[in-house]
């Protein structure tokens, strides 16, 4: 018999005393806290939303049968696992009960091992449901910068601190990081947590814009600036005045435009094409790059003076492989978003799937993780790293590094569940205090980060 870790209370309902006594003995020997009742009406009085246990109920009972009870119990909390028992072996009833939401269906007389094993599996499902609920609540309670930049790992705490230090200033910022690390999200956090948050956030992807239209798109133009064009156009730079201009993939900006952008940075003004009027700007510029701009300067691909103008403050975005302990929270967040967008129920994320997510090296970073979460929802909970993605799961980390990353993630999850309590985390992990203390020191984990604020 498998020893299931989570063992909440069990309500066992049967109108026959000898069955109640036998079941109580079996389940208590398996480590469960059991309350036996002879009718469903009394059981309903004990249930509430978020009740932390499972119910095992006979179907054939004098006043309220098990199917009616299950319907009423799921009206209270649809996630309570309910195991139904019958002595009549009705296959049609069994199939319908499963369709109506029963966790499982067993037939009298049943071996004690079957009862305790079924209860253990139901508890495992409930544990996953509770973890998902807790994660959803944490996501709801996030605010400000933390609402957009989820996680408790040291790299993310440092990123939030950097953003908080400069968000409410007019300093230009250079955001650096690999593809998919959330550079635009950082830019939006800087904007939304500044006094400019009520004005425009204008994002320009320099790498996606044809060179032939760069100047007109950025600077705008007056009527008649081009043959056959009678209209005025406000450029993106002018449109962002009072707010924030975000230039993504700045390393792809053509050299001729680098000169013009440098002047905008120096003068904080522009002239529309076809006009001699200087238009003053109230502007903050954020730029992002996946390249080493100093290396590009040395190769002659990027102006040195523009680089130093843009890099008054530099914010690096860490690759996901450097903060794997936050992957469970991030994956849950993206899965919830996907379930709402696709109008699907969010599947339960199983422990084995979490292990696979943490072991993966995520070359595509947060963007790849978000895609995996969407695939997980669309495939009804099948492995998000199945098929081709699983084949790509070999990475540069050796086995000890993978083990340490997974161990650190488990410790942080336990502290999260225990609200920062060392004793609670010890019980969840099943380790002595000294072992846990040594691990906290090794991984530089501060339990205070997990206590309720």
Please, which residues bridge with residue 203 across strands?
246
Residues 178 and 306 in one domain: yes
Q: Coil, strand, or helix at residue 248?
A: strand
Which of the four pLDDT bands, split at 50, 70 and 90, describes residue 169? confident
Is the confidence at residue 106, as pLDDT, over 80?
yes
Q: Supply the pLDDT for residue 231.
A: 82
Q: Rounded CA gap, 254 and 274, in Å?
A: 21
- Whether cis (ω within 30° of 0) applies to the bond prior to 28 is no
End-to-end Cα spacing for the chain: 41
Mean pLDDT in residue range 277-293 = 93
Mean pLDDT in residue range 68-91 = 85
Is the confidence at residue 67, as pLDDT, over 80?
yes
- Residue at which a domain ends, from 111, 140, 169: 140
Q: Identify the H or E element spanning 440.
A: helix 433-442
Residues 88 and 17 in one domain: yes
Mean pLDDT in residue range 344-350 = 81
- Residue at which a domain ends, from 300, 318, 336: 318
Total of domains in the chain: 3
Strand ranges across the sheet with 244-248: 201-205, 244-248, 284-289, 173-176, 313-316
Q: Answer with the residue of higher pLDDT: 324 or 212.
A: 324
Q: Supply the pLDDT for residue 306.
A: 93
pLDDT 10s digits, 215-268: 888 998 888 777 777 788 899 999 999 999 999 999 999 898 999 999 998 999
Half-sphere exposure of 435 (CA within 13 A, CB side): 10
Q: Rounded CA gap, 220 and 231, in Å?
A: 11
Sign of CA dihedral 123, 125, 130, 135: positive
Asked whether residue 353 is assigned to any structural domain, the reply reads: yes
Contact 151, 161 (CB under 8 A): no
The β-bridge relationship of strands 279-280 and 269-270 is antiparallel
Query: Phi and psi of 229, rounded to 5°?
Result: -115, 105
Contact 149, 160 (CB under 8 A): yes
Q: Rounded CA gap, 156 and 168, in Å?
A: 19
Asked whether residue 50 is assigned to any structural domain, the reply reads: yes
Average pLDDT of the chain is 84
Q: Supply the pLDDT for residue 393.
A: 46
Is the confidence at residue 358, as pLDDT, over 60?
yes
Residues 286 and 372 in one domain: no
Contact 202, 236 (CB under 8 A): yes
Q: Which long-range contacts (CB under 8 A, 24 or more apart) does 434-437 make?
A: 436/411
Which of the four pLDDT bands, split at 50, 70 and 90, describes residue 394? very low
- Supply the CATH number for residue 231's domain: 3.40.50.300
DSSP class of 273 = B
Q: Supply the pLDDT for residue 390.
A: 46
Residues 190 and 203 in one domain: yes
Please, which residues bridge with residue 279 across strands?
270
Is the confidence at residue 395, as pLDDT, over 70?
no
Q: Print the domain residue range for 77.
A: 9-140
Residues 156 and 215 in one domain: yes
Asked whether residue 129 is assigned to any structural domain, the reply reads: yes
Token pair of 328 as six digits? 């469970």
Contact 447, 422 (CB under 8 A): yes
Contact 415, 447 (CB under 8 A): yes
Alpha-carbon dihedral 192, 196, 199, 200, rounded to 10 degrees: -60
DSSP class of 228 = T
- Residue at which a domain ends, from 318, 346, 370: 318
Lowest mean pLDDT among 147-151, 207-211, 281-285: 147-151
């Amino acid at each position: 018999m498998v020893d299931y870790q989570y063992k909440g209370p069990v309500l066992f309902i049967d109108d026959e005393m000898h069955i109640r006594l036998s079941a109580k003995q079996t389940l208590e020997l398996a480590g469960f806290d059991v309350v036996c009742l002879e009718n469903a009406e009394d059981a309903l009085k004990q249930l509430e939303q978020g009740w932390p246990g499972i119910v095992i109920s006979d179907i054939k009972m004098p006043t309220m049968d098990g199917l009616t009870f299950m319907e009423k119990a799921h009206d209270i909390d649809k996630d309570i696992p309910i195991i139904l028992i019958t002595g009549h072996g009705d296959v049609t009833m069994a199939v319908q009960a499963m369709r109506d939401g029963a966790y499982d269906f067993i037939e009298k007389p049943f071996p004690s091992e079957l009862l305790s094993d079924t209860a253990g599996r139901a508890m495992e499902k409930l544990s996953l449901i509770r973890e998902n609920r807790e994660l959803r609540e944490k996501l709801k309670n996030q605010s400000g910068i933390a609402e957009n930049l989820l996680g408790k790992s040291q790299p993310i705490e440092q990123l939030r601190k950097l953003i908080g230090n400069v968000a409410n200033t007019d300093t230009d910022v250079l955001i650096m990081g690999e593809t998919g690390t959330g550079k635009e999200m950082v830019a939006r956090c800087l904007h939304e947590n500044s006094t400019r948050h009520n004005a425009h956030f204008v994002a320009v992807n320099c790498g996606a814009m044809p060179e032939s239209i760069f100047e007109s798109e950025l600077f705008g133009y007056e009527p008649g600036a081009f043959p056959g064009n009678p209209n005025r156009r406000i450029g993106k730079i002018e449109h962002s005045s009072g707010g924030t201009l975000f230039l993504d993939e700045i390393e792809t900006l053509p050299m001729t435009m680098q000169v013009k952008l440098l002047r905008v940075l120096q003068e904080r003004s522009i002239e529309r094409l076809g006009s001699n009027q200087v238009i003053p700007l109230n502007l903050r510029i954020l730029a992002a790059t996946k390249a080493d701009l100093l290396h590009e300067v040395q190769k002659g691909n990027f102006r040195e003076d523009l680089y130093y103008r843009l890099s008054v403050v530099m914010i690096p975005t860490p690759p996901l492989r450097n903060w794997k302990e936050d992957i469970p929270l991030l994956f849950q967040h993206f899965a919830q978003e996907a379930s709402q967008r696709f109008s699907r129920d969010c599947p339960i994320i199983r422990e084995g799937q979490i292990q696979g997510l943490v072991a993966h090296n995520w070359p595509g970073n947060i963007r790849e993780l978000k895609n995996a979460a969407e695939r997980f929802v669309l495939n009804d909970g099948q492995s998000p790293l199945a098929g081709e993605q699983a084949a790509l799961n070999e990475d540069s980390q050796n086995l000890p590094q993978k083990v340490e990353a997974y161990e650190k993630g488990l410790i942080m999850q336990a502290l999260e569940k225990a609200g920062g309590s060392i004793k609670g985390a010890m019980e969840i992990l099943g380790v002595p205090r000294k072992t846990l203390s040594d691990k906290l020191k090794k991984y530089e984990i501060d339990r205070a980060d997990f206590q309720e604020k």
